[in-house]
Structure 1
Amino acid sequence: MSKRVFVYLFMLTTFCITPSLSNAEASFKELDDLQSLAEKSKQQALPIMLMFGAEWCEYCQVLKEQVFNPMALSGLYEESVVLMRHVGIDEDQPLIDWHGSPVKKDKWAYQLNADLTPTVLFLDGFGREVAPRIIGISEITMYAGIIHQNLNIAYKNMGLNKQIPLTPEQLEIQWQQHR
């Protein structure tokens, strides 16, 4: 493992975690109400990032543990650069769709062609895909950087004059400088 990759993983799993937030408060949240999330997306001018996964999917678990939970715990992402949620396609609990109707998560994932897990979608508050989707895992150490790149594409496609740094480390530094 290169020194750069080691430093990246160390910072992602260590420095990006804000101790004042408990795991229950800041862990990667499950999507239950898309209609409300879409309204929040419109009001706050933020993209929605949805990770479609399943309990039985070992790659999904790796992503949640090594990428999405640290992002949620850092306090740097949710409601400041993105609205991020997990969609468990193997869960029985339906979600509220864009129009306020209940829909089973596996059926909705199939309709979106997001039933191959893990799949990450970037949407605006109107349900339009605003950045390339990420399907599977090619290189876990680069995954957060790909997310940052796609969020910048989403901002541009949503007509927002916003951009975040290309790595979690740079975002942390920027956040520290503006505190």
Structure 2
Amino acid sequence: MRPRLSTLRALPWLAALLLASGAAHAAGHLPAVTDVAAQTAAATKAGEPLVVLVSLPGCSYCETVRRNYLAPQVAAGEIAAREVDMTADTPIRDIDGTMTTAKKWARAHNVSVAPTVLFLDANGQPVANALLGLQGDFYGAYLEQALDTARAKIARK
């Protein structure tokens, strides 16, 4: 059975659409924090902290941290990272099993600046200093230093 000519003509458009949707997904957000206990447990089982990007909608600095620093490491399987919109009422199951919202969770973690990157252990406790804002040319080094500190603390537990 031969493909119809109209189907063959549509293939380049379909390929372009698939590529565009993949690029849009790659530029999108990290997976959301939904269950802190489960997500921190999974990360620490792998010897990693749960890296949480606390962001704001439309925040260009948040996008830079996400796109240039966190997403490539997530894609390479190097870190476990999630994202929280500090203005959203998105439901989150907290470390103790209670339900809260993204906004309240960020506030409970004393986040007042976006982007903020947190490094959490299996108990939802910080295991490295949070990265606040986007600290210029050395952000990658600050991120790696925080990850090293967090990994060392998790390895000792």
TM-score grouping bracket, smaller chain normalisation: 0.7 to 0.9
The answer to whether the 8 Å contact 2:50/2:81 transfers is yes
Q: Aligned-pair distance for 1:107?
A: 1.0
Contact 1:52 1:115 in 2 (8 A): no
* Structure 1 portions without partners, runs of 5+: 1-21, 161-179
Q: CA deviation at 1:99?
A: 1.9
The correspondence for 2:89, drawn from 88, 92, 116, is 92
Q: How does 1:17-56 map to 2 (within 5 A)?
A: 24=25, 28-56=30-58
TM-score (structure 1 length as normaliser): 0.65
Q: Judging by fraction of residues, say which structure has more helix.
A: 2
Trace 1:1-179 onto structure 2 (pairs within 5 A): 24=25, 28-73=30-75, 75-77=76-78, 82-139=79-136, 141-160=137-156
**Runs of 4+ off more than 4 Å:** 22-27
Q: TM-score, normalised by structure 2?
A: 0.74
Per-residue deviation, 1:58: 2.3
Tell me how far 1:86 sits from its aligned partner. Answer: 1.1
Check whether the contact 2:49–2:150 (CA below 8 A) recurs between aligned residues: yes
Give the residue type in structure 2 aligned to 1:145. Answer: A
User: Per the alignment, do residues 41 and 69 of structure 1 end up closer, same or farther by CA in structure 2, a change over 3 Å counting?
Assistant: closer
Structure 2 unaligned spans of 5+: 1-21
RMSD between aligned residues: 2.4
- The CA deviation at 1:27 is 6.4
Query: Helix, strand or coil: the match of 1:145?
Result: helix
Contact 1:27–1:72, Cα closer than 8 Å, also in 2:
no
Q: Whose radius of gyration is greater, 1 or 2?
A: 2
- Identity across matched positions, percent: 23
**Over residues 90-124 of structure 1, what are the superposed CA-to-partner deviations in whole Å (9 max), with x where a residue is unaligned?**
22321111122221111111111113211111111
